[in-house]
Structure 1
Amino acid sequence: MTLCVTCCSLYKAFRFERGQHRHQAQFRQLYSSAVSSTNQQAITVVVQVRHFSNMMLGKSVPEYIFIKVAIAALRLIAPLSMLCVAWMLLVVPASTDPDPKWGLFYSCLRIYAPLEAAFFLCVYLPRRYHLQKTAKHPRLSREERQALFTRCSAWQGSANYPSGWFFHSRNFHRKNVLEWLLWALFSTSMNAHREEWEDEIVGYLTTVENVLGQELPDGYNKDTPCMRLTLDPVPMLHRPLLWYLIIGVIDFVTCLRLYSLGFRHYGDKRMFQSFPPRPLTLFSRPSSIEGVSYWYLPHRSLTKSPILFLHGIGIGLFPYTSFLADLAVQHPDVGIIVPEFLSISSRITSPPLSRNATLDALRHILDAHSLARVVIAAHSYGTVIAAQLFRCPDLATRVTATLLVDPIPFLLHLPDVAYNFVYRAPRTANEWLLWYFACRDPDVSRTISRHFFWTENILWKEDLQDKVVAVALCGQDQVVNAEEVRKYLTGEDEKKANWTGGRLEVLCYPELDHAMIFNVRRRWGRLVRVLDRFVRELN
């Protein structure tokens, strides 16, 4: 809000008057657009404030106009900055003395516009090319592929498997399905098709025909491509330097908040390990594993389990600070470990760790603090890390209970998550918010399109056997097909606010969108109560 007031004040203080020198008048006209664009950053800040409090917008027309204007303002900064630089170089020489009434504004703009232009040309454009690097796929054996495909075919969802993986889903031919199978099971393209796979693939094609109830026509329909998440180009949009500075301020505030709660930061003391810089990391304690940072609230209880919190995609830990504060107040003697996944936190940073490296990092962190057992609380992308941990024998035994909020890993063989996050064209205000501020962030997109492998991350109901697990689903989730996941986990068509089956609980929030559960305390109160019970069940 301070930035909002400042931008408006600067705009009003340095308004231009008519009758100026011809060049200055032209300059004023051109830069009035720039001023307006800069002033629109207030809108962006307001969007973020709304994002912090509501996490997702609704679907009303005013909200739609609001988010579209905010996105347009951010996207206009780079082209307007380059236009400003060109104008200053070609039309208004640097030696020209500006009118005193707008000299300060012009002086500031002479610094800011070149910075934004250079940031676009020298940082974004090279990174856009660099982030397209080929993914390093995990490879499955024939037995693993067959077992996985059999499992997938057993739950087809609402008749959109496998047809939902294809654009214009009813017009795909046999080779279209072959192309999809080569990506999904063999992690390769048509060009790398091997003859030794032929018999195996024929079996898969036969199963697909049985699922569809029809024979696939021969040939390839070029108008019906399939979604191949880790082979398709990485989609991204530029973020201006101003946006990253806002992220830096938010991160600084988040750090202060966590420090005030008693958390300690462990990590690399290099302030410029990621951008924007993190000056408070100069006071960090050494991490037990290089390149991994995390927050730790010391564990002092002998009768309760500590909590391992795994956050989701967004702006880091800021949206979760009040939730973490509630946990800390509820159980001041219970430790909380919060790893930072910077590659999904709207920053410019290095690629995410591989699955094995991530699990090794978690193992080292737990060992460094002598934590034999933990309760996992994970949200969105963090549930993917939790799913990976479930399949790691030595780490899985250290988990006493798990809370999964807006879970990504269930039914990943269905197209919903991939389509909603990567391929869907936004229409409503909440979809535009997700699309620009999450889906098209360069580092987030690189993480999803080059380091998210569904075969590693999928989680089955059978994997939860003999585990204490609670799953929280938002009925209006625009990323996860919450209704399909609910039916899969409960085996029932009837919707219930709370469902319990053995050690599995399913909590439903029918009116909420993805991540809105962390909006206000009355919503996450149920989660706190679940974790309160989990941390007490050490024995």
Structure 2
Amino acid sequence: MIGTSTPEYVFIRASIVCLRAITPLSILYCGFCVLRPPRSTFSTVLAAWAAVETTFYFIVYLPRRYYLQRPTPHPTLLSRERRQILFQRCYQTISNPERYLTNWFLGSPLSEIRRENIKDFFRWAFLNTGDSDASDNEELEGYVSRVEELLERPIEPGRGRAKCLRLTIDRVDMMHRSFAWYMVVGIVDTAAAAYLRFKSFRFYGIPLRRFFSVFPLRFFSLLSSHRSPSSHISYWYRPHTSKARLPVLFIHGIGIGLYPYARFLAEINTKDEFQASDGEIGVIAIEIMPISFRITGAALRKDEMCKEINAIVKKHGWDKFVLASHSYGTVVSTHLLQTPEIAHKIGPMLLIDPVTLLLHLPDVAYNFTARKPRGANEHQLYYFASKDMGVAHTLCRHFFWSENILWKEDIIGRSVTAVLGGRDLIVDTEAVGRYLVGANDGNWEDGSWKEDPWIGEGLDVLWFTQCDHAQAFERKETRQKLVDVIKGYSQRGEQLIDIA
């Protein structure tokens, strides 16, 4: 993640302007060439590139943008009893009801958020629909009454001009990416593949019959003799040779695939006293193409994803592993915890920049999909991530908050470390940290929990004051702490590493 300085702001804005200009300039140049055909070699090559970009826009992007607007089936509706329990959990963890409402209603003033507006929001949030049904009114009125308790004032009747954020119902908002951009993605992907292969990782690609299902094409996959047991999930594997330590399953977040994590994955097996006598820690790094700036199929549903990851783990004979995940990957981790077939295989967990904790609060959804960018890091997030076709479709048609949310009660009895950045532009890490350590119950009011050493048992919180979202992987010092947590968890009760 880029910083917030003026030079970085100028750089990122200039980069975005240049990338967005490629296609309109290509269309204009194609029109010019019709009137005046190119005569030199340079102009011929330029015309050919412009033709590719123009064709890509009209033949690939426009039809795909229309196709991705299709509605999606929602998960099975929870029973009313379970909805009441879910609402109560949410209710108990809303510390700022005014901010809660204004952000879910896209910054609208409270005077415009009236009773019917709030019902619209809860109709989506708890009933998985945008359609009004008189039979639901009693339940919705109950929710609105509880909000009045939080606000300590009545909510005006009727409907105001406020519009709420309803991810899985709203239009999928995306921006065009040029053909040249996807070529850059392909180059970065190949560079990451070369680095991981150099670090003794093996690539397990999807079946060759699906080679053309991912664009840019991954030609290095043709060189691999290993195939994934999954039809949709490719991954990188480093053999597990240790007899005393647990292997590691890693799930990445939204971005350009495994490239930002390559050094972290390699450093898990840096030389140490245990490796010299015991062997190496095995690593499986899952690839999720729909959130990796590619043109590919839709994201897998919860059950499908868990089934295919379980098949991968079974292929390598893992009956227990450390689960590490970053950002969107923590959503998949939550799903794995909820799936009995694989949940019993999950040992200690490392959740880096987790987006699933307190997911009912508006920060993650609003900051990632609706916030108007200002700083350099916000512009980077907005253009390169939020408005990518695959990412936007995944978040707007396959991201169901009620099945993605992770509560503290769900990880009781496990060894879990949550890594939070003090400058995270997506997650309200202050609120998440206070929730995890119980600061909202009157403990740790002075914020001293941020300085607590890592223990390695029960629930730990690592606070990186100067880190933005994903920057823990970019800095050697913080990345080393992540690696030390992995090694400490992997040692199966051996003496834990002191990373305080």
2:256 maps to: 315
* Structure-2 residue corresponding to 1:437: 384
Offset from partner CA, 1:422-471 (integer Å, 9 cap, x none): 00000011110111111111111111111011001101111110000001
Distance of 1:164 and 1:106 partners within structure 2: 50
Cα 1:324–1:340 shift into 2, 3 Å: same
Q: CA RMSD in A?
A: 1.5
Following superposition, the deviation at residue 397 of structure 1 comes to: 1.6
Give the secondary structure class of the aligned counterpart of 1:235: coil
Which region of structure 1 is more displaced relative to structure 2, 340-349 or 209-218? 209-218
Instruction: Give the secondary structure class of the aligned counterpart of 1:161.
Output: helix
Aligned match for 1:414, one of 350, 361, 364: 361
In 1, are the aligned partners of 2:336 and 2:343 still within 8 Å (CA)? yes
Match of 1:457 among 404, 418, 435: 404
Show the counterpart of 1:510.
465
Partner letter of residue 187 of structure 2?
V
The answer on whether the counterparts of 1:404 and 1:469 sit within 8 Å (CA) in structure 2 is yes
Whether 1:227 and 2:165 are equivalent positions in the alignment is yes
Would you say the 8 A contact 2:310–2:341 is kept in 1?
no
1:43-79 alpha-carbon deviations (Å, 9 max, x no partner): xxxxxxxxxxxxx222222221111111000000000
Highest CA radius of gyration, 1 or 2?
Answer: 1
Q: CA deviation at 1:283?
A: 2.8
> Residues 195 and 305 from structure 1, CA distance in 2 versus in 1: closer, same or farther, beyond 3 angstroms?
same
Distance 1:216 1:476 in 2: 34
Identify the match of residue 334 of structure 2 among 374, 381, 387: 387
Give yes or no for the alignment of 1:295 onto 2:270.
no
Matched-pair contact (CA < 8 Å) for 2:53–2:179: yes
TM normalised by structure 1 equals 0.85
Instruction: Name the counterpart of 2:213.
Output: 273
Distance in structure 1 (CA, Å) of the matches to 2:347 and 2:6:
46
1:144 and 1:133 mapped to 2: Cα distance?
29
Does the CA-based 8 Å contact 2:354-2:418 persist in structure 1? Answer: yes
Q: How does 1:79-478 map to 2 (within 5 A)?
A: 79-90=24-35, 92-94=36-38, 98=39, 103-138=40-75, 139-159=77-97, 160-167=99-106, 168-171=108-111, 172-189=113-130, 192-221=131-160, 223-266=161-204, 267-269=206-208, 270-284=210-224, 285-330=226-271, 331=275, 333-478=280-425
Q: Which residue of 2 aligns with 1:537?
A: 492
Who is 1:524 aligned against?
Answer: 479
1:67 aligns with 2:48: no
> Deviation per CA, 1:374-398, whole angstroms, max 9, x where unpaired?
1011111111111111222332221
2-structure distance, mates of 1:538, 1:392? 26
TM-score, length of structure 2 as denominator length: 0.92
Aligned equivalents of 2:85, 2:121: Cα separation in 1 = 17
Shift, 1:520, TM fit? 2.6
- Quote how far apart the aligned CAs of 1:104 are: 2.9
Question: Could you list the runs of 5+ residues in structure 1 that have no partner in the other structure?
Answer: 1-55
Residue 500 of structure 1: how far off its partner (Å): 6.0
Equivalent residue letter for 2:492: E
Match of 2:52, as an amino acid? L
Q: 1:173 to 1:158 in 2, by over 3 A?
A: closer
Question: In 2, are the aligned partners of 1:251 and 1:316 still within 8 Å (CA)?
Answer: yes
Where 1:403 maps in the other structure, the secondary structure is: strand
Amino acid at match of 1:523: T
Identity percentage of aligned residues: 40
Mapped to 2, the partners of 1:463 and 1:186 lie a distance apart of 23
Distance 1:281 1:120 in 2: 27
Give the Cα separation in 1 of the matches to 2:221 and 2:355.
31
Question: What is the identity, as a one-letter code, of the residue corresponding to 1:477?
Answer: D
Q: What is the CA distance between 1:476 and its match in structure 2?
A: 0.3
Deviation digits for residues 23-50 of structure 1 (CA, Å, limit 9, x no counterpart): xxxxxxxxxxxxxxxxxxxxxxxxxxxx
